[in-house]
Chains A and B, each alone.
Chain A
Amino acid sequence: VNDQDLGDALRSPSQEMVLAAFDRHYDAMHWLARAVVGDDELASEVVLDTWAGAVRAARGGGARPPYRAWLFDRLRERSIRVARDRVPEAAPPGHDGQGEFFPDGHRWQGHWVEFPLSWSDRVAVLASPAGRELLSAVIDRLAPQQRAVLILRDLDGWSVAEVGALLDLSAETQREELHRARLAIAGAVDEALSEDSF
């Protein structure tokens, strides 16, 4: 993603350019807004208001690079304002999917007690409509910081530096949060699929 292209689109009088940039960023913005406000429709309003405000500000000379971080920072501020009076979200899932290793002193210390389940058949399952719904529900239950890092890095393809600038997180912290999030998802998916609901 070329950040300057986003800046140009925000300032552009061309509706086509604005909409192309809106298309490109809508999904990640909606995910993040929903994570804060806890509601699909309200999140759509937040994204729309953020865009309208950002275009207005950019056309008035108020936008500054990096534009993606600037735009998402506005989204976060607006989401927090909207969510302020809403009920706190549910607790995140407790399991971490890490698995178990033989204890120190054991002949096989530090090695798997049981190998992790093979996921060779999971990718296709998770790409199905029911699988996507399951994934979305699991992501919604992640701890807020884990969810934000996951959405920006794995869903929207942000770089470590960009996420660091937006969320004020070091590369190490992002790595830890991202890995916990991925393991929590893997654990929740294993649990759901083992219940034979698919």
Chain B
Amino acid sequence: LTDTFDITCRAAVALVPEYLDAVLPEAELVRLEHHMVACPGCLAYVEKVGAVIQAVGGLRRQGAPSDARRRLVAVLAAEVEGP
């Protein structure tokens, strides 16, 4: 197994944060991507983190709750009208 890979899984995993931030230097990017082609464990690791990113992004609601919108409108209207 060790002869198959240019880097160990531990070393590959250490590169993943920079890989996900798209700031990994070219040479290390190539090593990591080659490693992942041959290593289902590291590929699963990257896919797992990617799935978390996707899931967290999916939590974002579109727009404020209607009650909050109504209340902001009321506050702003009261300020325009004055005391």
Most buried by B among A119, A157, A175, A176: A119
B76 near A18: Cβ-Cβ < 8 Å = yes
Asked if B28 lies at the interface with its beta carbon under 8 angstroms from chain A, I say: no
A175 near B21: Cβ-Cβ < 8 Å = yes
User: How many A residues touch the partner, as a band?
Assistant: 35 or more
Q: Which residue of B lies closest to A55 (CB)?
A: B76
Complex: how many Å from CA A119 to CA B53? 12
Asked if A165 lies at the interface with its beta carbon under 8 angstroms from chain B, I say: no
A107 near B52: Cβ-Cβ < 8 Å = no
Stretch of A64-72, A78-86, A131-139 contacting B (4+ beta carbons < 8 Å): A131-139
B29-49, CB < 8 A from A: 40-42, 44-45, 47-49
Most buried by A among B2, B11, B20, B72: B72
Asked if A127 lies at the interface with its beta carbon under 8 angstroms from chain B, I say: yes
Complex: how many Å from CA A75 to CA B47? 34
Instruction: Tell me the minimal C-beta distance from A57 to chain B in angstroms.
Output: 12
Interface string of B4-31 (1 = CB under 8 A from A): 0100111101001110110100000000
Asked if A56 lies at the interface with its beta carbon under 8 angstroms from chain B, I say: yes
B41 near A115: Cβ-Cβ < 8 Å = yes
Complex: how many Å from CA A27 to CA B59? 9
A1-43, CB < 8 A from B: 13, 15, 18-19, 22-23, 26-28
9 pairs across A/B with beta carbons < 8 Å? A52-B75, A109-B2, A111-B2, A171-B21, A175-B21, A179-B17, A179-B20, A179-B49, A186-B48
**Known interface pairs A15-B77, A115-B40; 12 further A-B residue pairs with C-beta atoms within 8 A, sorted by A's residue number:** A22-B64, A23-B62, A52-B76, A101-B8, A110-B11, A112-B41, A117-B48, A120-B47, A122-B48, A122-B55, A131-B55, A155-B56
